[in-house]
Amino acid sequence: MKFIVSSAVLLKELQMIGGVINSTNTLPILDNFLFEVNGSSLTLSASDLETTFSTRITVESESNSSLSLPARLLLDTLKTFPEQPLTFVKTDKNTVEISANNGKYAVAYVPGEEFPKAAQLIDSKTTMVQSSLLHTAINSTLFASGNDDLRPVMSGVFFQFSDVGLTFVATDAHKLVKYTRTDAVSEVASEFIMPKKPLQLLKGILQGVSDQITIQYNETNAQFTFGESLLTCRLIDGKYPNYEAVIPKENPNQMQVDRVNFLNSVRRVSIFSNKTTHQIRLKIAGAALQISAEDFDYSNSAEERLECDYQGDDIQIGFNSRFLIEMLNNMECNEVKLSMSLPNRAGLLTPLDHTVEGEDITLLVMPVMLND
């Protein structure tokens, strides 16, 4: 086996797929990258058994072989090279010799046959999505997914495809985000729960991708294809909770306020809140929003007033400031609307600008009981 490849190209692709590799692995082979040479095509793969990420680059070669090399050693070495061609040659001593401009480096390899194979999708359905749409959907929802091992279905993002639009939902039972696009549809109605890790990888990569994404999925796995890259992952098994049931339909009390001013006020006031509950109080009457917090254990308190546009009955409602900050921080609009019904029902945040046609996003935050 012999091939010649650009050091910069190889490093860029290995860094992209390297996000799959866990810091600690029970199987030593999972600390490696798989190299598969087929003529002038080199396929690079990384896996953690749940997720496999592969990408293909062009090299100078006439070989047809595969082997796996230690990821950390390879990345650390490649980072030190200026842009130059590198020659990889498999030797008889169970090593690969890497020849650069100024030296040679021998790396022990493991036969490619020992590397775990990516899942093959049988009886799969296919949906095409623009990369920018998928990136925005992941960006808008992923932060709201949970971390509770006892409720694994909530630790991912729920994908719901139909002929009227695509919906993406994430919740941790305290907050919920529902992102819908009616300008993209799927011929086949289906739903599945994507785990967090592959979505985090896609979120980082799709920002610089302009291709259409092909999403293939069946009952157990999903596969994302874009350009020369292929990400395959196991889906979360289980039934997603009925999220529509927790979204209040009637919300007569509606406040419009500048998002950045609201966010900054909540941030400042929350510093004075109880360190266990993080509770803040919103008191809305007329065109005034009063944001307050107190920590009775230390006699700390804070209060701020903001101008707002409000329609509805005077209301006092409590929220966990961490969740409110997280949601406001994740929005990109200038003006935000907070819709409420009762102090014990969820509040709905929706952007009033910065949305594209066919896009609908609803952010729900559960209230906390106020201690009067």
Residue 342: pLDDT over 90:
yes
pLDDT of residue 371: 72
Examine the fold and report which residue of 82, 114, 146 is the final residue of a domain before the chain moves on.
114
What is the reported pLDDT for 211? 85
Last residue of a domain, one of 91, 114, 137: 114
236 and 316 part of one domain = no
**What is the model's pLDDT at position 97?**
97
73 in a domain, yes or no?
A: yes
What pLDDT is recorded for position 257?
97
Residue 372 has pLDDT above 80, yes or no: no
Say what the pLDDT of residue 221 is. 97
Among the three residues 55, 89, 114, which one is the final residue of a domain in this structure? 114
Q: Which residues on adjacent β-strands are paired with residue 5?
A: 86
Q: Give yes or no: residues 235 and 269 share one domain.
A: no
Question: Is 19 part of a structural domain of the chain?
Answer: yes
- Judge if 199 and 162 occupy the same domain: yes
Q: What does pTM read for this prediction?
A: 0.93
| Residue 38 and residue 68 share a domain | yes
- Statement to judge: residues 226 and 267 lie in one domain: no
pLDDT-derived band at 159, boundaries 50, 70, 90: very high
Claim to verify: residue 227 and residue 290 sit in the same structural domain:
no
Tell me, what CATH number does 72's domain have?
3.10.150.10
120 within some domain: no
Predicted confidence at residue 298, as pLDDT, reads 87
The percent of residues above 70 in pLDDT, for the chain, comes to 100
Q: Looking at the domain assignment, is residue 119 inside a domain?
A: no
Tens-digit pLDDT profile for residues 221-257: 999 999 999 999 999 999 999 999 999 999 999 999 9
Buried-exposed string 130-140: b where 16+ CB fall within 10 A, e elsewhere: bbebbbbbbbb
Higher-pLDDT residue of 207, 306: 306
Please state, for a pLDDT cut of 90, what percent of the chain lies above it: 92
Average pLDDT over residues 115-126: 93
Q: Are residues 264 and 359 in the same domain?
A: yes
Residue 209 has pLDDT above 90, yes or no: no
What's the domain count of the chain? 3
Q: Is position 89 within any domain?
A: yes
Residues 29 and 90 in one domain: yes
Full residue range of the structural domain in which residue 71 is found: 2-114
Per-residue model confidence as pLDDT tens digits over 171-204: 999 999 999 999 999 999 999 999 999 999 999 9
